[in-house]
Amino acid sequence: MAETTPSGDNTLLRETVSAREIGRMERFLGPENYRIVMGLLKTPASIAGFILIGFFILIALAAPVIAPPVNAKDPYKIPRDGFKSEPQPMGSLWKTKQPPLPFWWESIMGTDQWTHILGTSQGQYDVFYGIIWGTRTAFRTGLMVTIATFLIGIIVGSISAYYGGWVDNVIMRVVDVFMTLPFILAALILATILTPRIGKSLYPAIIALITFGWMTYARIIRGDILSIKERDYIMAARVIGVKDSRILFRHIIPNAIFPTLVLASLAVGDVVLSFAALSFLGIGTEVGYADWGQVLSFARNWITSLDTYWYIIVWPGLALVMYVMGFNLVGDALRDVLDPRMRGKT
């Protein structure tokens, strides 16, 4: 090609560009995603949510320091102080061989006597320990379930949207079938069937929640892909001869995935609710595993004396509610940002 003077004058160009100087963040995320992120960062409710989530992340990371485990190899086993059934009140001293003291305890309390800060539950399981390490369980299960359901949803939804026609039809009917079973009951059945096979652990519940949790993502990503597919830049890609697979992975998915991704990251909180519900119904980990639902389910046997033993439900309940609320606060703001009716309002 020969060198020529271009007809458009570059001075004009520079002026217009400098009029809209944008930050690195916006450049990286693109305008639509940037709007979502900024919308979240500007709402007080979602900021409160982020703070709560951050708080729990800190607790999860610092668990070994806050409540040192008896056996470092098996930290999720809540230490027991004897085998008596009756819960012990908050602040009662550790009677049997106590676990290692956290380094901060002595300097604050002036004693090397480890205490049941939040009391013990049925069977002398330490509630405080259960809550601290239960935070890790909450994140672990939440992340596992979310990542798996997200990936399955993305794959199924993409296939459905991309191929369209009867493939789409069949897949969407399968999604309908999965959604016809009430979520918690379906998960309950599968976990019930799986438990004798793989033993009492986190996994039956995790597998069950994954099996019945991917459909929403598939639906959302499918809808987004279908809408992206009609954009002119997809047509433009076909004009220059981009192959179908590259169109899907380079042009469609990067533009369609973000809302689903954000929704999924907020579902990390919801997983814990379903998980706790299964625990409460007796499906899930073995007794004494550091899992909020598990700790809470002890309360079932003490209903008539809950006025005395309130701490066996209030503290783990509070942890659970605050954790989920952190995600919900962000999620609520996100719905406002994503809702097309709210566009242009923030």
Partner 1 sequence: MSNNNDVLLKVVDLKMHFPIYRGVFQRQVGAVHAVDGVSFDVKRGETLGLVGESGCGKSTTGRTILQLYKPTAGEVFFKGSNLVSLKSEEMRWMRRQMQMIFQDPYASLNPRMTVAEIVGEPLTVHNVATGKEIQEHVMHLLEIVGLNPSFAGRYPHEFSGGQRQRIGVARALALQPSFIICDEPISALDVSIQAQVVNLLEELQEQFNLTYLFIAHDLSMVRHISKRVAVMYLGVIMELANRDDLYLEPMHPYTQALLSAVPIPDPVADVNRKRVILEGDVPSPVNPPSGCRFRTRCPIAEKICAESRPEFREVKAGHFVACHLVS
Partner 2 sequence: MLTYIIRRLLMVPLLLFGVTVLIFAMLQFLSPIERSALYVRDIPRNDKAVEGIIKRYKLDRPMHEQYWFWLVGTVDASTGKRAGGILFGDFGYSRTGAEPVATLIRNRFPNTLDLTIWAVAPVILVGIWLGVQAAVHQNSIIDQAARIFSIVGTSFPTFVFGLLMLMFFYVKLGWFPPGRMSDASSIIVRSEEFHTYTTLLTFDALLNGRFDVFLDALRHMAMPILTLSYISWATFLRVTRSSMLETLRMEYITTARAKGLSEHDVIFKHAQPNAMIPVVTLAGFSVILLLGGVVITETVFNYPGIGQAAAIAAAQLDVITVLGFALFNGLILIVSNLVVDVLYAVVDPRVRLS
Residue number with CB closer to partner 1 (246 or 335): 246
Q: Give the span between the Cα atoms of 120 and 68, in whole angstroms.
A: 17
Residues numbered 313-332 forming contacts with partner 2, rule: CB under 8 A: 313-314, 317, 320-322, 324-325, 328-329, 332
Least distance from C-beta 217 to partner 2, angstroms? 17
Name the residue with tokens 């944008």. 22
- Encoded one letter per residue, x for contact with partner 1 by CB under 8 A and - for no contact, window 198-237 reads ---------------------------------xxx-xxx
- Encoded one letter per residue, x for contact with partner 1 by CB under 8 A and - for no contact, window 243-262 reads x--x---xx--xx-------
In the 3-class helix/strand/coil scheme, how is the chain assigned residue by residue? CCCCCCCCCHHHHHHHHHHCCCCHHHHHHCHHHHHHHHHHHHCHHHHHHHHHHHHHHHHHHHHHHHCCCCCCCCCCECCECCCCCCCCCCCEECCCCCCCCCHHHHHHHCCCCCEECCCECCCCEEHHHHHHHHHHHHHHHHHHHHHHHHHHHHHHHHHHHHHCHHHHHHHHHHHHHHHHCCHHHHHHHHHHHHHHHHCCCCHHHHHHHHHCCCHHHHHHHHHHHHHHHCCHHHHHHHHCCCCHHHHHHHHHHHHHHHHHHHHHHHHHHHHHHHHHHHHHCCCCCCCCECCHHHHHHHHHHHHHHCCCCCHHHHHHHHHHHHHHHHHHHHHHHHHHHHCHHHCCCC
167 lies in the binding site for partner 1 (CB under 8 A): no
239 lies in the binding site for partner 1 (CB under 8 A): yes
263 lies in the binding site for partner 2 (CB under 8 A): no
Q: Which of 228, 235, 236, 231 is nearest to 260 (CA)?
A: 228
The correct pick among 42, 95, 173, 238 for binding partner 1 (CB under 8 A) is 238
- Partners of 116 in the β-ladder: 92
Residues numbered 176-205 forming contacts with partner 2, rule: CB under 8 A: 176-178, 180-186, 188-197
**CB of 56 within 8 A of CB of 323?**
yes
343 lies in the binding site for partner 1 (CB under 8 A): no
The two structure tokens encoding residue 201? 């652990």
Least distance from C-beta 19 to partner 1, angstroms? 9
What residue 163 binds from partner 2, partner 1, none (CB within 5 to 8 A, per partner kind)? Answer: none
281 lies in the binding site for partner 2 (CB under 8 A): yes
Residue number with CB closer to partner 1 (8 or 44): 8
Residue number with CB closer to partner 2 (17 or 189): 189
241 lies in the binding site for partner 1 (CB under 8 A): yes
Residue number with CB closer to partner 2 (106 or 176): 176
**CB of 288 within 8 A of CB of 123?**
yes
54 lies in the binding site for partner 2 (CB under 8 A): no
Least distance from C-beta 345 to partner 1, angstroms? 20
282 lies in the binding site for partner 2 (CB under 8 A): yes
Q: Give the span between the Cα atoms of 132 and 67, in whole angstroms.
A: 7
- Encoded one letter per residue, x for contact with partner 1 by CB under 8 A and - for no contact, window 17-36 reads x--x-x---xx--xxx----
Site residue total, partner 1 (CB under 8 A): 36
Least distance from C-beta 335 to partner 1, angstroms? 23
Site residue total, partner 2 (CB under 8 A): 54
127 lies in the binding site for partner 2 (CB under 8 A): no
Q: Where along the sequence are the contacts to partner 2 (CB under 8 A)?
A: 45, 173-174, 176-178, 180-186, 188-197, 269, 273, 276-277, 280-283, 293, 296, 299-300, 303-307, 310, 313-314, 317, 320-322, 324-325, 328-329, 332, 339, 341
